[in-house]
Chain A
Amino acid sequence: MKKYLIIFSLLLLAGCSKVEDLQNDPNRATQVSPDLLLTTIETTAFNNVSLNAALASRQLTFTDGTNQYQYYNWQRAGFGQYDDLKQVYKMIQESQRTDSQVYQILAKFFNAYYAIELTRVFGDVPYTEAVGAEIGIYTPSYDRQELIYASALDSLRAAGLELAQNTETIRGDVIYEGNKKQWQKLINSYSLRVLMSLSNKVDQTDIDIVGRFNEILNNFDQFPIFESNSDNASLVYVDIQDNRYPLFNDNSLQTAYYMEQTFVERLQNYEDPRLFMMADKKPNASNLNVEDFSAYGGLYGSAPLSDNGSKAVSGEASRIKPRYYNNPVNEPSILMSYAELQFTLAEAAARGWISEPSEPYYKSGIAASLAFYGISEAEDYLNNPTIQLNSNEDLESILTQKHIALFLNTGWQSFYDQRRTGFPEFNVDGGGILNNGLIPKRFMYPQNESINNPENLNEAINRQFPSGDNINASMWLID
């Protein structure tokens, strides 16, 4: 009997497993090559199609309820882009581990890009102490916006110059397929955008805005910039799961979004053929020709929901062109286009920052935008009297054309350009605005910062906004 017992007992114990053998995760890698992170960063940073931006920028309207972006009663935005900055940080770590430089250079661009994206939303934000959790900084302090801009511009300059010297191969690049020249063009063109976004600060800051602008523009060999649409910094969608145009199959887009009236009327007045590429005919004009400008209409962004709703119900408003929700690849998402650069240069000319006249840049920007929409025949439009510059200083026309060219692309750029320049005018007189008739100037800080980082947040609010964290307060950039 005893021996059976021993056998039983041994059998029981034989199958026992050791703790030490099971302490590696078979499902995830603890080290990766930096290119795997570059792909993530690119597909996030360049993927910026935003219906909210189109509502806030009076390009589209929404009828399923009062939308806070359209009626300007939005409150807060999030700090989600710090997670993107962390991916950049990990890319730097992994490229240091693997002794490669090129990803660290690209990281400079992305660091600058995300920092600018964040600061223009809120004002002061964490920057020098940001993404420091791995070294124990859980409550980063907020940096002044001016410092962030200055530092970002330095990073961009360094990135462009270092990239020119670098001989390594970029892998995992789904934007330029490793073409470093094009990356340089993006970095420098983007620097021009950042400099232009400081237009209200000329001579009020240590940043030599105009000087730096000219430095780039006058040294093409050292600082190449976009030369055509083929240089556009854009993410091209593919008809594969998770790679499709983000609004593909969007239910609301096909049933509750309509074109904005002032936007449609502007294109109608200009006889702008891009209207036919952006908008669908309004239902009660469905029998008219596609190229009949009177077949289109829109809803007034600031009108009360009930007015817009009944107008939509009676078939007087155009939906967006079905390709935006029917076509899985539709059009690329743009971080920055050649057209935008041309309008930036035209604006620089209009502001007298550069010596060239504004018109060639202006026309070239329009032509590039038409080409983006597949309209190769631009002559008629370019010669249309309604779109001619009134003078070399005609900022309104330049920014209005830029606003058209940036329809439902380039993220929130149109909104921030309008905040900076006041052009084109965004209507607030329709009686429906829920922010005392004002266009907000910023977003409130995320509420969890008041819990997770209250002291630094408080300090940042107090030094910038005497009336508290508020969507109508004015930040340094546009003071």
Chain B
Amino acid sequence: MIPVNRQGEVWVFAEQEDGQLQEVALELCGKARQLADQLAVPVGAVLVGDQVAGLADRLIAHGADHVYLVEDPRLAQYQTLPYARAVCQLIEKYHPQIVLYGATPLGRDLAPRIASYLRAGMTADCTDLRIEDVLEARTQQLHPKLLLQVRPAFGGNIIATIVNYDGWPQMATVREGVMPLLPPDTNRRGQILRQQVELDETLFVVRLLERHSEPRKVNLKGARIIVAGGAGVGSKENFRLIYELAGVVGGAVGASRAAVDSGFIGKEHQIGQTGTTVRPALYIACGISGAVQHRAGMEESAKIVAINIDPEAPIFSIAHYGIVGDLKQVIPMMIKAIRQRR
């Protein structure tokens, strides 16, 4: 771990792939800006890759004061070991007090490796981050302006607030879409600080042989209406009903983790704690029981319709309209009713 350094910056790992910044990196810049203002320290963004200097302006426009740039042709594609080494070297050099990562598959691969090397604390999948003075119960010591790391745990049945008194830096991953993407301010000024890191050949033992990226087909975040299916849909075939209803109302198709894990539909449709967070005008939840992880990703929806066979399903506790019944009968009725209105 690094020394507790209350003048340390608030850092964001600026995840990029093929020269494209992940949106979550920009969301985190905005959050880091807010935390850093409370701490009266600068925001740093760590940008690692090959020929990625051009991305620095966007990071600055979204809140970064310093962009720590590590460029190396060998870093063109993400690899755990050299990326982790590069970030660790910068953390050991500059002693930031907070480091945030997107809770993407890449972030969740990288961040714990860094935390283990530094023997620092690491909290996964935070849904909220705040700065507060914390009184440590055991020692009665007051820790000023600590990072409160809030996350659901225990299958989403509890909300835990995690703190890190002295195993610094305070590090966390944050899910995509949880922090709002603030509008960029192109008048902001920042500095690009080019960094030299030592990466010996032993860090490149894992070879990338082939890579295939599917463009994100589903635009859940931008959808005004979302029709989502859960475990209660029962099968991949039945998911056609969800697609059909979405087609009729002009909405996007979402799913709960249970439906994704059961193989009914692809992960890109997943809404909830480990999927996308959405705020549509209308959310129709079909056969979704409404575990907290799922609700965390959709409860801000303006209107929620729940269709579930179980009257006790927790989804009804946040629904505005509900139908207790079998979705295999109710959805065709809905499709028919909507068509008749047109």
Do A and B associate with each other?
no
Interface set of A (CB-CB < 8 Å, partner B) = none
Interface set of B (CB-CB < 8 Å, partner A) = none
